[in-house]
Amino acid sequence: MGFTEKQEALVNSSWEAFKTNIPKHSVLFYTSILEKAPAAQNLFSFLANGVDPNNPNLTAHAEKLFALTRDSAGQLRAKGVVVADAALGAVHAQKGVTDPQFAVVKEALLKTIKEAVGDKWSDELSNAWETAYDALAIAIKKAFA
């Protein structure tokens, strides 16, 4: 079955919850990444001085990543497929991003959304974000090639 209107609505409403406090949610997101993959501190330029919510590059990057995942939900619903632009593929190819790293970022993203939505969290909501993220990750990796 394709990505449903309900799944898209779940992703959109939780994206709104994420946006209510981007610095706070960004801190949780990068802290979760670093817990699982400490070496990521050397990968992201804006983590050089740790997870600082006042660093605009850090919050801008988190916002872009969550926004692109949300857009992917829209693409899945409208066209059944996600396309990433070549520039996005190129950044990740250049950084040599691996599948285990995509998994770490996915886990951190879900943990962050869970905190952002509070008692609205559900398996259905989690699955909708996972599906959108997985499709985007595949699209980014295709754009590397």
Binding site for ligand HEM (CB under 6 A): 40, 43-45, 61, 64-65, 68-69, 88, 91-92, 95, 97, 101-102, 105, 133, 136-137, 140
Which CB, 39 or 119, lies closer to ligand HEM? 39
CA separation for the pair 9, 33 (Å, rounded) = 27
Question: Residue 113 carries which DSSP code?
Answer: H
CA separation for the pair 130, 145 (Å, rounded) = 23
Shortest reach from residue 116's CB to ligand HEM, in Å: 17
Which CB, 49 or 118, lies closer to ligand HEM? 49
Shortest reach from residue 60's CB to ligand HEM, in Å: 6
Which CB, 55 or 101, lies closer to ligand HEM? 101
- Residue of minimal CB distance from ligand HEM? 45
3-state per-residue secondary structure call for 48-101: CCCCCCCCHHHHHHHHHHHHHHHHHHHHHHHHCCCCCCHHHHHHHHHHCCCHHH
